[in-house]
Chain A
Amino acid sequence: MPFFMLLFSRQGKLRLQKWYVPLSDKEKKKITRELVQTVLARKPKMCSFLEWRDLKIVYKRYASLYFCCAIEDQDNELITLEIIHRYVELLDKYFGSVCELDIIFNFEKAYFILDEFLLGGEAQETSKKNVLKAIEQADLLQEVSHVKNCE
């Protein structure tokens, strides 16, 4: 089970953080700082997995963004890599060729999509169609209420 998932830019700016184990804010900041540094220091052709503290880190870079998951020893690295990829696909489909700015300006959406896909760190729904359907339904509800709001 992933312990956490972090999205950060090449400049080391954190764009999304999702923690699946209870940690204090201080610990979270420390982990983030150290891990971002470690991952950014790695060269492009290196392996996507590394041991870090007692965790396994699985990361992949998409354009300017690094997607990074910390998993337990017995967890499967490759399938985690594809969890990351599926999340990227979901973002891409939702925003239409997603870029870092989409995630910055619509961070709440990025969180909602992640919650539909992974809950408590485990895959809740792996079908792309089903996840997007859920999000679109929610958007529909938003628009309805928003229209009401403006009236």
Chain B
Amino acid sequence: MPAVSKGDGMRGLAVFISDIRNCKSKEAEIKRINKELANIRSKFKGDKALDGYSKKKYVCKLLFIFLLGHDIDFGHMEAVNLLSSNKYTEKQIGYLFISVLVNSNSELIRLINNAIKNDLSSRNPTFMCLALHCIANVGSREMAEAFASEIPRILVAGDTMDSVKQSAALCLLRLYKTSPDLVLMGEWTSRVVHLLNDQHMGVVTAAISLITCLSMKNPDEFKTCVSLAVSRLSRIVSSASTDLQDYTYYFVPAPWLSCKLLRLLQCYPPPEDGAVKGRLVECLETILNKAQEPPKSKKVQHSNAKNAILFEAISLIIHYDSEPNLLVRACNQLGQFLQHRETNLRYLALESMCTLASSEFSHEAVKTHIETVINALKTERDVSVRQRAADLLYAMCDRSNAKQIVAEMLSYLETADYSIREEMVLKVAILAEKYAVDYSWYVDTILNLIRIAGDYVSEEVWYRVIQIVINRDDVQGYAAKTVFEALQAPACHENMVKVGGYILGEFGNLIAGDPRSSPLVQFNLLHSKFHLCSVPTRALLLSAYIKFINLFPETKATIQEVLRCDSQIRNSDVELQQRAVEYLKLSSIASTDVLATVLEEMPPFPERESSILAKLKKKKGPGAVSVTELEDSKREGGELNGGGDRGSDTAAMAASNASTPSPSADLLGIRSAAPIGAAPASAGSLLVDVFSEAGPAAPSAAVSDDGFLRDLEQPTETSDSLLVEGSGDSDPKFPVSHRFVCKNNGVLFENQLLQIGIKSEYRQNLGRMYLFFGNKTSVQFASFTTTVSCPGELQSHILLTKPVEPLVEGGAQIQQVLNIECLTDFSEAPLLNIKFRYGGALQNLTLKLPVTINKFFQPTEMASHDFFQRWKQLSQPQQEAQKIFKANHSMDTEVLKAKLLGLGTALLDNVDPNPENYVCAGVIQTKSQQVGCLLRLEPNAQAQMYRLTLRCSKDSVSKRLCELLAEQF
């Protein structure tokens, strides 16, 4: 037993603990515990009333047993009894037991709350503190209900002792975190904010945690705290190291409070008041200056406390992102830390610099440290530090240093920890594509990736290299030559075989002139890998073979022989068997011309309309199609982490092939058959790229910039790229209300943190909209709230069915459902406001929800005669709205049809005498009335113009529909 026995030792407890420690085995321990439990149980059940001391001792033993990891199912009542003891020591143990072993037994909760209530009103500060500690430790809903209104009163009352105030502030914070709806600050707000001015540093330290949390949620209500925080900070920063007496920690004045003040300021933009801002900038400069001063102590506590403040100050500087001078100074300071002998500081400097790299003011300054960071990647002994270095390299990468950084990351990959390889692969792939100036470098890099870390190369990566090769004829020969060489390796990764099979199948002819890579050599090389590959890869290889027959007639006999052998034509896998049979047949009966047509080289990827139609038929799933541009400048390492496992394309491949025996269609199908089976996400997302590349003016580098990243970050939803606009439409400024007029599903919003997908369905005047909020980062979003409002005279009525979970885990997706009822016609869109905290910063964004009047269309079928009769009935001038405008998008028939169908009306055939024109009819269902609408769209292909005419039984509807639709074509 130790000599120390402060307060009252409980001898029985000490003996018991000694016994447990002396147990030689787990079994012996359990035996001893069971004996003790039986003893305690009999004491509690015994006839003799236990005195307070014994009760306390037994409760304490139970607590000890619980903390050892054993279950305790009794003793709660005795602990609750202790709460109402007037002896402090018994009360204290009672509260400790309750805090650790709280049980949601309602009867007990009532008793506990009663005891707490008594202690809170006892006016004995030590009792009050005990009660507050218990509430803060348990923090249950029941306690919030009982005490949330009482505690603010205690906190701000003039006669409350300082120590009680401190406990009350943090107790309230805990209740606010568990039940924000029950903690209403209202009238107390200003008095709570003024606690920042309290004379007692302990009170300020405790209160500021509460104020920071409240400010995050209600920044406006608490904004007066900014100037108070600045002046408090200023006083601390400029004080001598001894001024604050016991609040000075190893010669650093009030480090905890300083950090918290700086943290609080990060809830707000830079102060608007010039004087306040000046004072704050001065503080930040002083903190940066102090970092250069010689240390006042050699103790690590001194430097830690000092640097804790410094890092928090740098966070604030980064948060403001508006003071170039401070940003560069911060960067230089971190640069010094990069070579510090303390591992902790190197780690933090790398981490902090990552965010600095994303500021335009300090990006260049960060880049100057590249050699140090590369060195860290190579030499740091701690993997977590190396990881930070890799993150920073990724963040500081741009066109000027991409080759160097990619090369370093590739060589690191060879020895990298398994846990981070996939992320590294994605990073390398992204950088290689984003900054590729010459595409042979890009091809080399990706093939290297596959060679070094093939298992971690996801489909997106190898799909992407194929897409790029197909779309850029200047790199095709090089790619063919390079994969051919890569395949020479005796053991190469299956992903390499896939890429090789695909590329040689398409472009093998470009290297066939060299006898060392003659057609037969190529074929034999590919086929030598065949037997080691999985079914999907073999299927791909079979397609490559049939392409060979077309490219190189001299290989026909050999390949037919292969196809004909039993292991192919009788393969137990139905997919392989079918391919073998069909390809064999195709190669035997089709003439060379037919073969050449069917097996023509893959066209570049603007495969627009057919995919749209394919999608149209299989409308489903919320779109994972991004239209918003990624903000390049704010990109940071963390965002990649979301890219976890993604679906395989096997199902899509197999299924599409089964229905499309033509191999060229099949190769296409790998991409276009997204909505099949369980895991088509990757296939679908490729489509997005296809579209983004279709934009006529988009330079290829810019295309790859976004397309790829977007790919990798798709949530694993089925992508529905229905009516994905080409790059022309990807302008983020293009209003949401216009993008979603003709479709119900898609990506409403996307930036580097968050992706919002919507999926909606409408019936008559009712609608239901599913919002999917996807966290693209690896970090939890805190305080995630959404609100929907209907501004102005908007009559469409929207109900939120349930609030979103306040936390969105990294990489996770949450769903929210909105029920919509259209009361009468409308033209404004409801607004969706989203707030959450990511890292330190509050994110706040407001989007228009794509609810437009046409969503409530019911299609109406009618014959030509009826149509024109109604057309004439609606002939009053105000019932008609007309617009003549230039075509903004493709005038292709199928595209137009798809859009008009998406509008919700019936597209009427054989109505208009001119077959070039389109007429549609529908009824808009609102709660108050039905509005019949007729539409006529007359394209003039030569002039690239349209005339759009609408006639509706309500004139406001004609006008609104005309505005909406004029943007669509």
Residues from 81 to 117 in A contacting B, C-beta threshold 8 Å = 81-83, 85-86, 94-96, 99, 101-102, 104-109, 111-112, 115
Contact assessment for A124 and B205 in the assembled complex, using a CB-CB cutoff below 8 Å: yes
Partner of A50 from B63, B384, B780 at Cβ < 8 Å? B384
In Å, the complex CA distance between A94 and B837 comes to 39
Contact of A128 among B96, B246, B343 (CB under 8 A): B246
- A120-B96 CB under 8 A given contacts A115-B133, A137-B126: no
Known interface pairs A122-B170, A149-B52; A79-B247 also in contact (CB < 8 Å): no
Q: If the complex has contacts A120-B174, A145-B89, are A126 and B6 also in contact, measured as CB distance less than 8 A? A: no
**Alpha-carbon distance between A72 and B810 when the two chains are bound, in angstroms:** 13
B181 at the interface (CB under 8 A from A): no
Q: In the bound complex, do residue A125 and residue B166 qualify as a contact, i.e. CB atoms below 8 Å apart?
A: yes
Asked if B873 lies at the interface with its beta carbon under 8 angstroms from chain A, I say no
Contact B385 A82 (CB under 8 A): no
Q: Knowing A94-B6, A102-B4 touch, does A76 contact B137 (C-beta < 8 A)?
A: no
Question: How many Å from the CB of A32 to the closest CB on chain B?
Answer: 9
Residue A34 is within 8 A (CB to CB) of chain B in the complex:
no
Complex interface bits, A29-61 against B, C-beta within 8 A gives 1, otherwise 0: 100000000000001011111110010000000
Contact yes or no, B136 A119, CB < 8 A: yes
Q: Establish whether residues A49 and B347, one from each chain, have CB atoms under 8 Å apart when the complex forms.
A: yes
Q: In the docked arrangement, what's the CA distance between A119 and B99, Å? A: 12
* B256 vs chain A, min Cβ distance (A): 5
B312 interface residue, CB < 8 Å from A?
A: yes
Main SS of the interface on chain A? helix
Type the 1/0 row for B317-360, where 1 means its CB is closer than 8 Å to any CB of A.
00000000000000000000000000110111000000000000
CA distance A124 to B64 in the complex (A): 26
Shortest distance between the CB of A137 and any CB in chain B (Å): 7
Contact of A111 among B96, B209, B257 (CB under 8 A): B96
Residues of chain A contacted by B7 (CB below 8 angstroms)? 109, 138-139, 142-143, 146
Pick from B287-295, B302-310, B448-456, B926-934 the stretch touching chain A.
B302-310
Residues of A within 8 A of B133 (CB): 115, 119
> Which B807-853 residues have C-beta < 8 A from chain A?
809-810, 837, 839-840
Q: Which of B52, B71, B129, B307 is in CB contact (< 8 Å) with A78? A: B307
Is B418 in contact with chain A by the CB < 8 A criterion?
no
Partner of A130, one of B71, B140, B202, B249: B202
A115 adjacent to B305 (CB under 8 Å)? no
State the interface size on chain B (CB cutoff 8 A): 86
B617 at interface (Cβ–Cβ under 8 A)? no
User: Of B1, B171, B247, B384, which is within 8 A of A105 by CB?
Assistant: B1
Asked if B311 lies at the interface with its beta carbon under 8 angstroms from chain A, I say: yes
CB distance from A55 to the nearest CB of B (A): 9
State A107–B249 Cα separation when bound (angstroms).
Answer: 26
Instruction: Tell me whether B785 is interfacial, beta carbon within 8 Å.
Output: no
Contact B343 A124 (CB under 8 A): no
For A22, the chain B residues whose CB sits under 8 A away are 139-140, 178
* A105-B348 contact, Cβ under 8 Å, with A111-B96, A119-B133: no
Whether A127 and B8, one on each chain, are in contact in the complex, defined by CB atoms closer than 8 angstroms, is no
Interface contact A81-B202, CB-CB below 8 Å: no
Instruction: Tell whether, in the assembled complex, residue A49 and residue B348 are in contact, meaning their CB atoms are under 8 Å apart.
Output: yes
For A125, list chain B residues within 8 Å (CB). Answer: 163, 166, 202, 205-206
- Closest residue on chain A to residue B638 by CB atoms: A73
Chain B residues with CB under 8 A of A16: 67
User: A47 to B6, Cβ gap below 8 A?
Assistant: no
Ranked nearest first, the 5 interchain pairs of A and B with the lowest CB-CB distance are: A78-B308, A146-B8, A122-B209, A79-B308, A120-B174
Interface residues of B (CB under 8 A from A): 1-2, 4-8, 14, 17, 21, 51-53, 60, 63-64, 67, 69, 71, 87-90, 92-93, 96, 100, 126, 129, 132-133, 136-137, 139-140, 163, 166-167, 170-171, 173-174, 177-178, 201-202, 205-206, 209, 246-247, 249, 254-257, 259-260, 263, 301, 304-305, 307-308, 311-312, 315, 343-344, 346-348, 381-382, 384-385, 387, 778-780, 782, 809-810, 837, 839-840
Interface residues of A (CB under 8 A from B): 1, 14, 16-17, 20, 22, 25, 29, 43, 45-51, 54, 72-74, 76-79, 81-83, 85-86, 94-96, 99, 101-102, 104-109, 111-112, 115, 119-120, 122-130, 134, 137-139, 141-143, 145-146, 148-149
